[in-house]
Structure 1
Amino acid sequence: MTSTATTVPAAPGAPAATAASAATGASVAPSARPAPVPLADLVDAGLEVPVLGGRTVRHVNLDLAASAPALTAVAAHVGAVLPYYASVHRGTGYASQASTALLEDARVAVAGRVGARLDDLVVFTRNTTDALNLLASAVPGETVVLDIEHHANLLPWQRRGRRVVVAGPTFGATLDALAAELARRPAALLSVTGASNLTGEVLPLAELADLAHAHGARLAVDAAQLLPHRPVDLAASGIDYLAFSGHKAYAPFGAGALVGRADWLDAAPPHLAGGGAVESVTVDAAEWKTGPERHEAGTPNLIGAVALARALAELERIGEDARRAHEDALAARLHDGLAAQPGVRVLRGFDDLEDRLGIATLELERGSVGLVAAALAAEHGISVRAGRFCAHPFFDRLATRANGLRVSLGAGSSADDVDRFLDALAGLIADGPAFAYDRTPAGWCPRTDDRPRPSFA
């Protein structure tokens, strides 16, 4: 394969003042609003990373929609729990009994943090994808989904009878299209994202719950993106099932959860066949448990469950108002800066949804977003993501280019993070990277990479 070195040229038609500031590396002026500081302490705060040329800089993590580092409170809690880690549910030792209590306390805590009803189940899973695959095995009928979904909420339903509704340009039109589809033929479940991982737009979940219930269906919500940013209350909103991941909610210890109504889950085949999920076993048959244990065979991820519960508690402690004000200010700063940058288009799915998370997916008029993402990391210490973000149908409908560049903010983000990104992006669009890059099967890579690996790598 022949490798190619390239640069990103300046976009044509730029206003003279903006083009000049980009060419000199000057900041594209962000909003004049107050400059937010990090709202929460994360374990990566102050992390220094190497960049090309032998320097180190403070890492700017703007890829939080993919995975978020642990809250320091979560990491400290995990450290305190680890000495007590042992078998759960059947051990008689002190550590085993402590571990059993930690797991079941985490289950109760997670239920409370998401407003579960008293008879809802909390099943600990690996992540949102795992949770939705479990739910797919339990649905007694067809599932209706939108084309805006992450693959985790598209692919599990393919084998179980799935109908896809193409979202309209407004949420109002989309609601009408869903209503028409549910009226055309009954469905057991409507499954939607709580917030798009592509555009950050937040869907009105109570309205969707009312719509589903009016047509005899239940509502499932993929809350992987929503829950780290907004509180969710199943009972108050009418959501029947909620799926989410710890690794997006500042608890990257390998656990997620499915929370929701017990009847379908108790009737479903066990998610995994193995010890812990059975009442009794013979060589020819098994009597399976009901409740969360039915789907949690094998040794559970105790540390992941404990970390997830603690992360949700920390987010609640920070408070909804503080989290919302912090993120809104940062998102406004980001979007103001992107609007002033020539050759940049930010993707939107709905004309009438104003509530959106601190997520922006943009495409460039010219050049490769993959190269820009590589140069942001290698030359500026800024982590973003390039691609179609496991939402291919939605991206392909909205975008005019093959790939986009996604910037995502969180509780540990600051105004300086946003400004560094905007400055670096302006310079890369105006002048291109300062170093040569090759396009390889692994993506764009510096032709000569002098960045040392961490000692543990």
Structure 2
Amino acid sequence: MIGIEEPTTATLSEPRRVLTDAAATSTPASPAPAPPASPGPLAVLADAGLEVPVLGGGFVRHVNLDVAASAPALVAVTAHVARVLPYYSSVHRGAGYPSQLSTSLVEEARGTVARHVGARDDDLVVFTRNTTDALNLLANAVPGDTVVLDLEHHANLLPWRADARRVVVARRTIAETLDALDAELARCPAALLTVTGASNVTGEVLPIARLAELAHARGARLAIDAAQLLPHRRVDIAASGVDYLAFSGHKAYAPFGTGALVGRADWLDAAPAYLAGGGAVAAVRVDGADWKRGADRHEAGTPNVIGIAALARALTELERLGEAARARHERALTERLHAGLAAQRGIRVIRGFDDADDRLGIATIELERGSVGRLAAALAAEHGISVRAGRFCAHPFFDRVATRANGLRASLGAGTSADDVDRFLAALATLIADGPAHAYERSTAGWCPVDDDRPRPAFD
């Protein structure tokens, strides 16, 4: 296969940045003492040192605690993309050198993805737009009923046919929830059990291997929505018994528009082609077509070569960081975040399970009083801190476990530092105690400053 040698440096057009921390415009109240560990970023992301404007003038270092929605690209990924872009061309059957190179990038990436997730030799790796796309593809291939939990992201709830979707309400403990799933699968056979690997609301991690055992014992297969889990944890589908795995590049530090479905070939080979078009067919006649088998069957049209190459490089870079280092980094920051939130007044941290002892760097809170949307707007506009407010595309779960209409989520990643967590906790304490320093109003775009004097960069 044709390969591209990586450059030692890359020239990137960068927005305004600062390499040292800057104070926010107001002096925050101090939260409870933080745990002793003070880790810095584990990896360099494209937004490292980014400065953002705040109300009233001035700039502060941006704190990105919204990586559960979309993570910035790893710098190694942006450098890789810059390197391969000149060679971008159509794939398969092209005689030109760039076309052959682009084909190699896609097929080598397929191998990288398979290796990273521990795929079996006969598993397919189908490239998609994102996790939602991957799960919709799988939904077209399931030959029977699907059992899901109510804690799922909409991407793993809505694709399954309404007349074949059986929703189990999660119990207060994971152990009781497993029993409820087992009872549902025993009550009436199902073809598929599909569950999130980790909640995008609480960060709580589910026991994948145990779920696989449970599903297989009842004659069902297991699909895992790994959109949140995979950027934080290495998933080995063969070792854990998972039949299908879906995930997105944009949450795994490769935000260039691609994802993947990895899993057993038989259902996918028997399913109708996900997209009807060139590349998915072996022969076409006026009265019909002979459809291919394998990944090609569901990848009609021109693939996202750059996004696929970026995803493969991001997974490789995550491997280079090392599982142990990633676990230590996340554990220290997650403990710091939750310890700080536990000391805050006027908030409640949302949990799904009483017995969950494993969670990702995600925390969702609700306020005793006031609007989390207004709070999120003030964190951004006055302190340069990005979080997310809402129900996080998990409405049934959120409505069951929360007491307020919306929550505020802070999420950590490989680029997060202890200072990021401390800045958030301090700003949160100040805003809850004293309120925002500026006026905000609610519009169709959400909560916004009444007088927003923050300059915007020109991208032309």
> If the TM-score is normalised by the length of the shorter chain, which range does it land in?
over 0.9
CA distance in 2, matches of 1:216, 1:34: 46
Instruction: Tell me, yes or no, if structure 1 residue 116 matches structure 2 residue 119.
Output: yes
Aligned residue identity for 2:409: R
CA distance in 1, matches of 2:225, 2:415: 23
**Structure-1 residue corresponding to 2:247:** 244
**Structure-1 residue corresponding to 2:426:** 423
CA distance in 2, matches of 1:437, 1:112: 49
After TM superposition, the score normalised by the length of structure 1 is 0.94
The change in CA–CA distance for 1:30 and 1:226 in structure 2 (over 3 A counts) is farther
Unaligned runs of 5+ in 2: 1-25
**Structure-2 residue corresponding to 1:37:** 40
Instruction: Tell me, yes or no, if structure 1 residue 61 matches structure 2 residue 64.
Output: yes
Instruction: Tell me, yes or no, if structure 1 residue 353 matches structure 2 residue 353.
Output: no
Instruction: Tell me, yes or no, if structure 1 residue 399 matches structure 2 residue 402.
Output: yes
The change in CA–CA distance for 1:315 and 1:306 in structure 2 (over 3 A counts) is same
Identity of aligned residues (%): 77
**Structure-1 residue corresponding to 2:103:** 100
Instruction: Tell me, yes or no, if structure 1 residue 342 matches structure 2 residue 345.
Output: yes
Unaligned runs of 5+ in 1: 1-22
Contact 2:72 2:253 in 1 (8 A): yes
2:160 to 142, 157, 162: 157
Structure 1 runs of 4+ off > 4 angstroms? none
**Comparing both chains, which one has the higher relative contact order based on Cα–Cα distances under 8 Å and sequence gaps of 6 or more?**
1
CA distance in 1, matches of 2:383, 2:161: 41
CA distance in 2, matches of 1:445, 1:166: 36
Aligned residue identity for 2:392: F
Contact 2:139 2:161 in 1 (8 A): no
Matches for 1:119-158 after TM superposition, within 5 Å: 119-158=122-161
Larger mean CA deviation between 436-445 and 123-132 belongs to: 436-445
Q: CA deviation at 1:34?
A: 1.4
For 1:345, what is the secondary structure of its paired residue? strand
**Structure-1 residue corresponding to 2:454:** 451
Contact 1:137 1:160 in 2 (8 A): no
For 2:160, what is the secondary structure of its paired residue? helix
Instruction: Tell me, yes or no, if structure 1 residue 71 matches structure 2 residue 74.
Output: yes
CA distance in 1, matches of 2:410, 2:33: 15
Matches for 1:9-408 after TM superposition, within 5 Å: 25-159=28-162, 161-408=164-411
For 1:157, what is the secondary structure of its paired residue? coil
CA distance in 2, matches of 1:272, 1:311: 27
CA distance in 2, matches of 1:90, 1:453: 45
After TM superposition, the score normalised by the length of structure 2 is 0.93
Instruction: Tell me, yes or no, if structure 1 residue 436 matches structure 2 residue 439.
Output: yes
Cα RMSD over matched residues? Answer: 1.0
Aligned residue identity for 1:73: A
Q: CA deviation at 1:24?
A: 7.1
Q: CA deviation at 1:194?
A: 0.2
CA distance in 1, matches of 2:215, 2:42: 36
Q: CA deviation at 1:159?
A: 4.0
Q: CA deviation at 1:284?
A: 1.7
For 2:159, what is the secondary structure of its paired residue? helix
| Matched residues, number | 435
Deviations 1:78-121 (A, max 9, x none): 11111111110010001101111110000011000000000000
